[in-house]
Amino acid sequence: MTLLEAVLLLVGGAFAGVVNAMAGGGSMLTVPLLVLAGVPGVAANGSNRVGILTSTATSLLSFRNDGIRVTQNLAPIIGPALAGSLVGAYGISELTDETFERVFGLLMIPLIILTIWKPRVRTHPEPWPLAVTMGVFFLIGIYAGAIQAGVGLMLLAALSHSGLDLVTANLVKVIFNLCATLIALPVFIIQGNVRWGPAIILAIGLSVGGWIGARFAVRGGEKWIRIVMVVAALALAARLIFG
């Protein structure tokens, strides 16, 4: 890894952290950034989980410090998520680097659209039956283990059918991501698909950017951050698709 690549990961990771804090969707940028820094596609996917682990753990501590707790039984959500994440991480690791990069680049297009036009989540939908809840979160777990980017939108929509209020749903989303990452990351490590140097630099950038975004958000800033994020995401998607 060259000095320029390290700076790219640090600065790009910081920007992604600001995006996550102010507008959401920064995780779409981090895997392509790792690829641009010379990390092969599947290893970029695995290395990205280090930053996700640190950021979700920090978010969970923040919820705890604010006194927010979950009183509901999360077993029907977390149990399937753990199993699905294991399946997803193993499955995606079977792809070649070139195939993964193209698949990820194509997936970025609908994710960018969802970032621009976020679907509305009903506040009081009818809860799903237990079997449906477990099935849905198993499938989301597979996606989280395999790709992860954009999983937050899926989770909030699904959690609204689990009888949770919005604040609790956001906390459960963090718990879900943490648990899924704790399962997926060892899979990538065992298979040699984590490049620790780039992963740690990116994680530092994400943490710094998240801190900046949370404390220095200004009125109207979210709009401009989102515009820059969408432009950057489209450029990175094109790089992954067309090489």
Looking at residue 184, what is its pLDDT?
Answer: 96
Q: Is the pLDDT of residue 6 over 90?
A: yes
pLDDT digits (tens, 9 = 90+) for 65-81: 778 777 778 898 999 99
> Look-up: residue for tokens 């990538």?
188
Measured in degrees and rounded to the nearest 5, phi and psi for residue 85 equal -65, -40
To which H or E segment does residue 217 belong? none
Threshold 0.95, pTM exceeds: no
DSSP assignment of 160-191 equals: GGGT--HHHHHHHHHHHHHHHHHHHHHHHHHT
pLDDT digits (tens, 9 = 90+) for 37-48: 999 999 999 999
Q: Are 182 and 86 in contact (CB under 8 A)?
A: no
Tell me the residue ranges of DSSP E strands in the chain: none
Farthest CA pair distance, the chain: 53
Q: Is the pLDDT of residue 21 over 60?
A: yes
Residue percentage of the chain with pLDDT more than 70: 90
